[in-house]
Every structure is written in C-alpha cells, then in structure tokens.
Amino acid sequence: MNGIKNSDYNKLADEVLINLIRQDDEKAFAVLYERYSGALYVHAYGLIQNREDTKDLLQRVFTKIWDIRDTLHSEINLSAYLYQMLKNMFINSLAHNKVIDRYLDNLSGYAKTYVADTDYRIREKQLQACIQSEIQQLPPKMREIFELSRTAYLTHREIAEKLGISEKTVKNQITNALKLLKSRLPHLIFLLVLFQARP
C-alpha cells in the first residue's frame, strides 16, 4: 500500500504516476489511461478513420506501456512519449497492411497530420514520398483519375464530366490503381520501417 487515497490519484503529476506504475500500481495506470486515452483516440482516429482499428491501436499502446513499465523514467515527457509510440505502431501497422486501404483513401488528410517529434515527421514524409513515387508510376490516364479522386476529392461523376469519359471507366481506373498500389506498397513500407525501426 502506498497510502494514497483513491480520490487523490487524479491530482498526481505524470512523473508520480510513472513511479507508481513502475511499482505495479494499477490505479495509477488507470489514471494514466483516463488522462491520455481521449486525446490519443482523437489523434489516432484522424489517421485511421475507423473506430474499431482506432480502439485496437489504442489498446496496444497502453498494453505496451504496462508491459515496459519497469523501463519507464519519471523525467520523460509522457504526452510526447505516448504520441510517439502511437505513431510508431501506426506506421508498423501500415507495414503489415492492416490500414493501407484507409491510408490510400485519405492521402491528403494524412499529409496534414502534425507530429511534434522530428524523427517521426521525417519518417512520415519518407513514407509519403514512397507512396507518391508509386502513384507517379501509374499509367498517365489512371494516375490522373486517381489523383482527381483522392487528392482533389472529385466524385466519379465530376471526374467523368471533366475528362469526357463514363463513370464506369472512372470507377474501373480507380479500382485498378488501388490494386496496383496495394501490390507494390507493402514491400516499400516494410523497408522504410526496417531501416528506421529504432525510435
């Protein structure tokens, strides 16, 4: 027993919570979860755009924190540490092709995501560069249609009218573009994560 009343846990500073968590204090861990899970959920959902996948990612982040509690140091910036861990797990999930579909459907939104840590911003930019490079390798007409859909956010009808083609052609071109990208991207993303796996 640490002598701390249940009602006092919420008043504790992060560094105190970390020290208690290192001592296997589950109440301190619960407070940590309540303190940061909401903001982390919003941030993760902005990347993934899927509630179940977001919940899964959040659960893995906090499970990892508990698993490595013995290695935590009270002087760390806990907020930044959690965001970095979330971002790292997100990028690794891309490598395993779990959220690549939603990433491709939200290229522009993902590009606007801000991460405080410089290393992670570099990794994201390189990841985006890999994806953009593959997009540039698509056949010219397919690439034009794909970019009008995914970066200009035009509907199939708007694209068809703009290019003077049928909506069916637009749909088929986008479907084929996604198939090509998905067949090429996992390997590139894996190499990116492999060479920059250390935080």
Across 129-158, average pLDDT: 84
Across 86-99, average pLDDT: 70
Across 6-33, average pLDDT: 90
Distance CA 93, CA 198 (A): 16
Mean pLDDT of the chain: 77
pLDDT over threshold 70, residue 164: yes
Residue at token pair 């891309």:
94
Domains of the chain: 9-95 (1.10.1740.10), 99-199 (1.10.10.10)
pLDDT tens digits, one per residue of 118-133: 455 555 566 667 777 8
Q: How many Å separate Cα 6 from the centre of its chain?
A: 34
pLDDT tens digits, one per residue of 27-43: 999 999 999 999 888 88
pLDDT over threshold 60, residue 144: yes
Q: What percent helix, strand, coil does the chain show, rounded to 5?
A: 75, 0, 25
pLDDT tens digits, one per residue of 45-84: 877 777 888 898 899 999 999 999 999 888 888 888 998 8
> Hey, what long-range contacts does 118-123 have (CB within 8 A, 24 or more apart)?
119/196, 119/199, 120/84, 120/87, 120/88, 123/91, 123/192, 123/196
pLDDT over threshold 80, residue 6: no
> So what's the pLDDT on residue 59?
92
Across 132-158, average pLDDT: 85
> So what's the pLDDT on residue 190?
37
Residue at token pair 């397919």:
142
Higher pLDDT pick, 165 / 186: 165
